[in-house]
Amino acid sequence: MATKRKKLVPFVLIAVSYFALAAVVVFVARAGGLTPEEALLMLVGLLGLYVGFGILILIYRLINKLE
């Protein structure tokens, strides 16, 4: 049971950090600092960064296992 929990911790931390940054974007948009279109674009870009870097990290780990 403890090993499953240890494997989930990084995913939970990544999800929390994404939602925290998304909350900041929404807060700034609600405060009038961004238009809704800009906020949506920032959220999509943030998701793209998380997915892109996740793929890069996955490939890096797979290549290290080959050596």
- Residue-wise pLDDT for 49-60, tens only, equals 999 999 999 999
* DSSP-derived secondary structure letter, 31: T
Rounded CA separation 53/59 (Å): 10
pTM of the predicted model as reported, rounded to 2 decimal places: 0.77
Task: Quote the tokens at residue 10.
Answer: 């990084």
Q: Say if residues 59 and 65 touch (Cβ distance below 8 Å).
A: no
Q: pLDDT tens digit string along 30-51? A: 999 999 999 999 999 999 999 9
- The torsion angles phi and psi of 51, rounded to 5 degrees, stand at -65, -45
Domain map (residue ranges) of the chain: 13-66
